[in-house]
């Protein structure tokens, strides 16, 4: 076995081009057919159904918190987050930031994630096999 | 007393200790190394372990489990098979007659969810792009002095699909089956090591961090029609690939129909496991010292790696193209999954993507090109068979 550039380039090129063209042709054909199939079946069965509404509400109104630190700017708490939760968050921050350090919560809002932290943790566990 | 001495002498003369050749000893050591990789490193152990043991069995001196002469010249010498056929000679018939790879595909079909591909049919294009490695390596193999049929079999390693590589090689270049199968399965096991550097080198941080839109739900009817449609379209276009695609899609129809649960379970468990044992042992047995210990094997292993890298690169580059044309909606990392190696290559896309953005989940998006790659490499195999056989 040795390197030999004296090969039939016409034949080699023919195989490469034919191969690539047919593979692409087959898979482009399948792409179009599957797209068409999806559209047809959607119009037959699912067309009349309503598309599921987006669950995540856009731009939640941010209501100012009743009071937190008098002089400082008012804390912004996202709608749907109760006072208890704010208190718990404040306590958690206080516990983690060490003794005696002063801090102020300026804003409390939900992280814009499609999944919950538990869901994310589960997904990470299941998709990291190595 | 004389009889006793004579018997002992005969036993010694016929024993492996006396008849062991240097090549056989070396091959036995190679089989030990592969067993180590399979057991300790868990490199595709389901196939590598039977392959390694088949390699050990075939290189046992005087055991006569497998005879190259029976399959000499690319066809089966039935008279020799009747005369001296050993266990593995009979098992190898399933490879030689092209029975095992399609049956493995049947099992794979029952385990594959084509949903991500149906939801995003553009994934088919990535599955096609990643097959480029096959054809460029074909050229490299020709330059290295392999015959066109052998070059086609070596190129198919780049399809990263074991059964397809075995199916193609058993018909085009059966004499290279051992080295090609070992190279194909070793590289498939090394996907998590080979692919990430190529993926990172060809993409920017911004591209790797792209979060793709959630896939649409796919109806049951779509999943039912898909295998039938693919079988017809692909088999009409490339009839040589009908055994592989036909069985893959039959398995998938078993799964999606929901009415033949027993058949589906048998195909993906018992049948698949039995065939895997037969296939592994008999393919390993083709790696005899005379065949395996040659410069050709080194060439095949090097070319296999090139095929794999080129396939990965082509997939990622096509992914970049889709990134540009989609206005940044497609993460190019899913392109590398187009080389098949289901589901490992998709997991690699997921892992590399998650390094850039820990909340990004590309797995389902990568499964589309991944299963498209299986169809793509089967089509590529069909093309090579129809031109080179």
Pairwise CA distance, residues B381 & B163, whole Å = 11
Q: Are residues A43 and A66 in the same domain?
A: no
User: Which domain does A41 fall in, by range?
Assistant: 1-50
- Residue contact B379–A15, C-beta within 8 A: no
- Residue contact A19–B384, C-beta within 8 A: yes
Interface of A with B (CB under 8 A): 1-5, 7, 11-12, 15-16, 18-20, 22-35, 37-38, 41-42, 45-46, 113-114, 120, 123-124, 127-130
- Residue contact A1–B296, C-beta within 8 A: yes
Cβ atoms < 10 Å from Cβ of B205: 9
Pairwise CA distance, residues B222 & B359, whole Å = 30
* Six-digit token string for A3: 């390197």
pLDDT at A114: 63
Q: Are residues A37 and A69 in the same domain?
A: no
Q: C-alpha distances in angstroms, B82 versus A60, B89, B330?
A: 80, 10, 58
Residues of B in contact with A20 (CB under 8 A): 131-132, 135
DSSP β-bridge partners for residue A63: A77
Average pLDDT over residues A92-119: 76
pLDDT at A46: 60
Q: How many CB pairs under 8 A join A and B?
A: 132
The total domain count for chain B is 1
Instruction: Please give the mean pLDDT across all residues of chain A.
Output: 75
| Alpha-carbon torsion, ordered B342, B367, B301, A9, to 10 deg | 130
Mean pLDDT by 10 residues, chain B (389 residues): 87 86 93 93 87 93 89 87 92 92 95 93 94 94 93 93 93 91 86 93 94 89 94 94 96 96 95 94 90 89 92 96 94 94 90 88 93 94 93
DSSP β-bridge partners for residue A76: A64, A107
- Residue contact B372–A27, C-beta within 8 A: yes
Beta strands A62-64 and A76-78: pairing type? antiparallel
- Residue contact B124–A2, C-beta within 8 A: no
> How close, in Å, is residue B152 to chain A by CA atoms?
9
Pairwise CA distance, residues B179 & B201, whole Å = 30
> How close, in Å, is residue B145 to chain A by CA atoms?
6
> How close, in Å, is residue B122 to chain A by CA atoms?
6
Classify the complex by whether its ipTM is higher than 0.95, answering yes or no: no
Q: Are residues A42 and A80 in the same domain?
A: no
Mention every residue, 6+ apart, whose C-beta is less than 8 A from residue B163.
Answer: B100, B101, B102, B104, B105, B108, B244, B279
Q: Is residue A130 part of a domain?
A: no
> How close, in Å, is residue A102 to chain B by CA atoms?
32
Which of B121, B310, B349 to mutate to probe the A interface, most A CBs <10 Å?
Answer: B121
pLDDT band at A75 (very low <50, low <70, confident <90, very high): confident
Q: Are residues A7 and A42 in the same domain?
A: yes
pLDDT at B136: 92
**If DSSP codes are grouped into helix, strand and coil, which group holds residue A108?**
strand
Pairwise CA distance, residues B378 & B382, whole Å = 6
Pairwise CA distance, residues B217 & B271, whole Å = 31
> How close, in Å, is residue A123 to chain B by CA atoms?
8
Q: Is residue B38 part of a domain?
A: no
Pairwise CA distance, residues B106 & B331, whole Å = 31
| Alpha-carbon torsion, ordered B370, B33, B140, B290, to 10 deg | -130
Over the stretch A10-44, which tens digit does the pLDDT of each residue have? 999 999 999 999 999 999 999 999 999 988 887 88
- Residue contact A3–B143, C-beta within 8 A: yes
pLDDT at B15: 85
> How close, in Å, is residue A124 to chain B by CA atoms?
9
Asked whether the beta carbons of B95 and B282 are under 8 A apart, the reply is yes
Q: Which residues of A79-101 are buried (b: 16+ CB within 10 A; e: fewer)?
A: eebeeeebeeebeeeeeeeeeee
Q: Is residue B24 part of a domain?
A: no
Residues of A in contact with B361 (CB under 8 A): 123, 127
Asked whether the beta carbons of B221 and B334 are under 8 A apart, the reply is no
Q: Are residues A68 and A114 in the same domain?
A: yes
Q: Are residues A83 and A41 in the same domain?
A: no
**Minimum Cα–Cα distance from B350: chain A residue:** A127
**Minimum Cα–Cα distance from A2: chain B residue:** B144
pLDDT at A85: 87
Q: Is residue B275 part of a domain?
A: no
Q: Are residues A69 and A38 in the same domain?
A: no
Q: Is residue B336 part of a domain?
A: yes
Pairwise CA distance, residues B316 & B333, whole Å = 6
pLDDT at A47: 57
> How close, in Å, is residue B180 to chain A by CA atoms?
16
Asked whether the beta carbons of B127 and A27 are under 8 A apart, the reply is yes
> H/E/C letters for each residue in chain B?
CHHHHHHHHHHHHHCHHHHCCHHHHHHHHHHHHHHHHHHCCCCCHHHHHHHHHHHHHHCCCCCCCCCHHHHHHHCCCHHHHHHHCCHHHHHHHHHHCCCHHHHHHHHHHHHCCCHHHHHCCCHHHHHHHCCHHHHHHHHHHHHCCCCHHHHHHHHHHHHCCHHHHHHHHHHHCHHHHHHHHHHHHHHHHCHHHHHHHHHHHHCCHHHHCCCCCCCCCCCHHHHHHHHHHHHHHHHHHCHHHHHHHHHHHHHHHHHHHCCCHHHHHHHHHHHHHHHHHHHHHHHHHCCCHHHHCCHHHHHHHHHHHHHHHHHHHHHHHHHHHHHHHCCCCCCHHHHHHHHCCCCHHHHHHHHHHHHHCCCCCCHHHHHHHHHHHHHHHHHHHHHHHHHHC
Structure-token match 């393919």, residue found: B283
* Claim: this prediction has a pTM higher than 0.90: no
Q: Is residue A125 part of a domain?
A: no
Q: Are residues A33 and A79 in the same domain?
A: no
Res A118 pLDDT > 90: no
Which of B117, B123, B142, B355 to mutate to probe the A interface, most A CBs <10 Å?
Answer: B142
Q: Is residue B11 part of a domain?
A: no
Q: Is residue A126 part of a domain?
A: no
Percent of the residues in chain A that have a pLDDT greater than 70, as a whole number: 68
What length is written for chain B?
A: 389
Which of B44, B127, B131, B135 to mutate to probe the A interface, most A CBs <10 Å?
Answer: B135
Q: Is residue A57 part of a domain?
A: no
- Residue contact B222–A130, C-beta within 8 A: no
**Minimum Cα–Cα distance from A17: chain B residue:** B135
- Residue contact B225–A123, C-beta within 8 A: no
How close are the terminal C-alpha atoms of chain B, in Å?
61
Residues of B in contact with A45 (CB under 8 A): 219, 221
Question: What's the distance, CA B160 to chain centroid?
Answer: 5
> How close, in Å, is residue B127 to chain A by CA atoms?
8
Q: Are residues A7 and A36 in the same domain?
A: yes
Q: Are residues A67 and A116 in the same domain?
A: yes
Q: Are residues A41 and A3 in the same domain?
A: yes
pLDDT at A54: 47
pLDDT at B255: 95
**Minimum Cα–Cα distance from A28: chain B residue:** B125
Residues of A in contact with B215 (CB under 8 A): none
Q: Is residue A18 part of a domain?
A: yes
Mention every residue, 6+ apart, whose C-beta is less than 8 A from residue A99.
Answer: none
Asked whether the beta carbons of B103 and B243 are under 8 A apart, the reply is no
The total domain count for chain A is 2
- Residue bearing the bigger pLDDT, A53 or B325: B325
Q: Are residues A115 and A66 in the same domain?
A: yes
Q: Is residue A129 part of a domain?
A: no
- E strand or H helix at A64: strand A62-64
**If DSSP codes are grouped into helix, strand and coil, which group holds residue A29?**
helix
- Residue contact B144–A38, C-beta within 8 A: no
User: Which domain does B181 fall in, by range?
Assistant: 99-267+294-388
């Amino acid at each position: 076995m040795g390197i030999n550039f004296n090969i039939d380039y016409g034949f080699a090129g023919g195989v490469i081009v034919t191969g690539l063209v047919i593979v692409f042709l087959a898979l482009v054909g399948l792409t179009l057919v599957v797209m068409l199939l999806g559209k047809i079946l959607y119009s037959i069965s699912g067309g009349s159904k309503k598309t599921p509404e987006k669950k995540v509400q856009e731009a939640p109104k941010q209501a100012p918190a009743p009071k937190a630190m008098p002089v400082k700017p008012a804390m912004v708490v996202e709608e749907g987050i109760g006072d208890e939760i704010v208190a718990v968050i404040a306590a958690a921050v206080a516990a983690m930031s060490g003794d005696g350090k002063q801090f102020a919560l300026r804003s409390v809002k939900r992280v814009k994630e499609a999944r919950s932290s538990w869901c994310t943790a589960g997904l990470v566990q299941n998709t990291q096999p190595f | 007393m004389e009889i006793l001495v004579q018997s002992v002498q005969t036993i010694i003369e016929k024993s492996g200790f006396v008849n062991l050749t240097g090549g056989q000893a070396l091959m036995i050591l190679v089989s030990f190394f592969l067993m180590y990789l399979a057991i300790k490193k868990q490199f595709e152990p389901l196939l590598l372990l039977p392959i390694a043991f088949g390699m050990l069995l075939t290189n046992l001196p005087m055991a006569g489990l497998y005879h190259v002469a029976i399959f000499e010249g690319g066809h089966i010498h039935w008279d020799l098979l009747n005369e001296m056929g050993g266990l593995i000679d009979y098992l190898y018939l399933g490879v030689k007659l092209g029975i095992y790879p399609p049956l493995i595909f049947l099992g794979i079909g029952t385990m594959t969810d084509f949903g991500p591909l149906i939801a995003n049919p553009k994934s088919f294009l990535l599955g096609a792009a990643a097959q480029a490695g096959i054809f460029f390596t074909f050229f490299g193999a020709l330059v290295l002095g392999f015959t066109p049929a052998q070059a086609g079999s070596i190129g198919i390693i780049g399809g990263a699909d074991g059964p397809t590589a075995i199916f193609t090689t058993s018909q085009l270049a059966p004499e290279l089956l051992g080295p090609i199968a070992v190279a194909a399965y070793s590289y498939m096991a090394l996907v998590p090591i080979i692919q990430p550097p190529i993926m990172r080198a060809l993409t920017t941080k911004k591209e790797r961090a792209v979060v793709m839109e959630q896939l649409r739900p796919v109806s049951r009817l779509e999943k039912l029609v898909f295998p039938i449609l693919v079988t017809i379209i692909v088999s009409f276009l490339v009839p040589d690939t009908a055994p592989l695609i036909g069985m893959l899609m039959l398995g998938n129809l078993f799964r999606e129909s929901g009415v033949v649960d027993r058949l589906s379970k048998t195909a993906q468990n018992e049948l698949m496991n039995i065939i895997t044992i037969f296939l592994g042992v008999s393919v390993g047995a083709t790696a005899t010292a005379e065949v395996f210990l040659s410069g050709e094997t080194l060439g095949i292993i090097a070319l296999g790696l090139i095929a794999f890298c080129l396939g990965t690169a082509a997939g990622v580059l096509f992914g970049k193209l889709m990134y540009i044309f989609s206005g940044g909606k497609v993460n190019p990392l899913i392109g590398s999954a187009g080389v098949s190696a289901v589901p490992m290559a998709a997991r690699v896309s997921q892992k590399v993507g998650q390094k850039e953005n820990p909340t990004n989940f590309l797995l389902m998006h990568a499964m589309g090109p991944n299963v498209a790659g299986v169809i793509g490499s089967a089509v590529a195999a069909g093309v090579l068979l129809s031109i080179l056989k």
